[in-house]
Structure 1
Amino acid sequence: MTIATTEVPVLDFLRAQLDGTGTDGLTCQFRYPTAISRTLGIRLVAIDPGRATVEIDTDPARHGNQQGTVHGGLLTELADAAIGTAHSTVVGPGETFTSIDLRAVFLRPVWQDTLRATAFPTHSGRTITHYQCDITRTDGKPVATVTSIVTTLRGERSHGR
């Protein structure tokens, strides 16, 4: 038996995930949650057009570097997940996107904590959008600031992505 599905805008799909109404029978043009987010335990906690907030529970036994703190690569992935989710809410049908730059500034170490990453655009053009993502600990102290430039792909450029 095939279950009928309805494709909805990404923002509507993600809001259905968050508000508890569920996404049974709904699809969107992207895969949510993403495979990497499922693997790492990154979860969406807030969504608006062009903005997203995600969280992860960190543990140095699972996410640690050689010094025993949370690895900077995990922080970068957390920010990239927030930025990608934010941008996915503003691309149109048949459009895709890709990051063309990602820069992280690490401000303080993290051990076992719940990290929150909030991504928002600082400049939006027709094709290029600049994002900032602030990562904080549960005590509100900043852990990292990540910036990214994302390009929206249209037409032939969007095929196969």
Structure 2
Amino acid sequence: MASDERRVEVTLTAEEYDRLAATTDDPEALAREALLRRVDLEESIEFTREGGFRELAVEERAEGIPRPPVGVLVGFDVLEAADGESRLAFDAGPEHANPMGTLHGGVVCDVGDAAMGTAYASTLAEAESFTTLDLTVNYLRPVWSERLEAVGRVVEGGRTVGLVECDITNEDGKRVARLSSTCMTLRDEQAAGR
């Protein structure tokens, strides 16, 4: 063991270990990966509790955007978010499947909602927050396992209410879903704690 490494031991029952070993040739690597995913989630939750995206200065929002807890859980990355536009990447896989084997519609909705939310949030002042008033999803083609890109953009932004849209495309550039949402900007006491 290298001097910059630390060791964690986990005790499993024989049944638990057999279940783990049945899913992989390298149980230790899988356990390490699962543990680090949980650490990512806990760090993201803590970042959000401390104010998250809302507390970043406007110029900081475009640089190194941390994943929100739902991003860690679902598995999407925020690649860009500035000036009313955002771009997210998502690798759809068997862990996101519905009972028919295709990508679950709720996951598509989560990814699109996040793209629209980060796009809208990129237009807000530091003391503002927002909430979603409605959300519509149009599913256009099935997805199995492939990389998707979600591009959110503010189409109309007023003082209180804004219209946001998102196109989700597959690796071939074909649209798999289109979403739209109406968002309401919150200020002062309404924005506190959000």
Q: Partner of 1:80: helix, strand, or coil? A: helix
The AA in structure 2 aligned to 1:9 is A
User: Deviation of residue 89 (structure 1)?
Assistant: 1.1
TM-score, normalized by length of structure 1?
0.82
Task: Give unmatched runs, 5+ long, in structure 1.
Answer: 1-6, 19-31
Structure of larger gyration radius? 2
**Structure 2 counterpart of 1:42, which letter?**
F
Q: Which residue of 2 aligns with 1:99?
A: 132
* TM-score normalised by the chain length of structure 2: 0.68
> Distance between the aligned counterparts of 1:40 and 1:115, measured in 2?
13
Is residue 151 of structure 1 aligned with residue 184 of structure 2?
yes
SS in 2 for 1:15: coil
The code of the aligned residue for 2:78 comes to L
Matched with 1:127 is 160
CA RMSD, Structure 1 to Structure 2 (Å): 1.4
Partner of 2:82: 48
Q: 1:46 to 1:16 in 2, by over 3 A?
A: closer
Give runs of aligned pairs for residues 30-69 of structure 1, distance below 5 A.
32-59=66-93, 61-69=94-102
Pairwise CA distance, 1:47: 2.6
Unaligned stretches of 5+ in structure 2? Answer: 1-54
**1:9 alignment partner in structure 2:** 57
Instruction: Report the counterpart of residue 148 of structure 2 in structure 1.
Output: 115
Query: Which of the residues 102, 105, 112 maps onto 1:72?
Result: 105
User: Equivalents in 2 of 1:158, 1:47: separation in Å?
Assistant: 20
Question: Which amino acid is 2:124 matched to?
Answer: V
Shift of 1:56: 0.5
Higher strand share: 1
Identity %: 35
Tell me whether 1:86 sits opposite 2:134 in the alignment.
no
Which portions of structure 1, spanning 4 or more consecutive aligned residues, are displaced by more than 4 angstroms?
none
Q: 1:159 to 1:114 in 2, by over 3 A?
A: same
Distance in structure 2 (CA, Å) of the matches to 1:15 and 1:159: 23
1:15-53 deviation line (CA, Å, top 9, x unaligned): 3217xxxxxxxxxxxxx3211101222112223211101
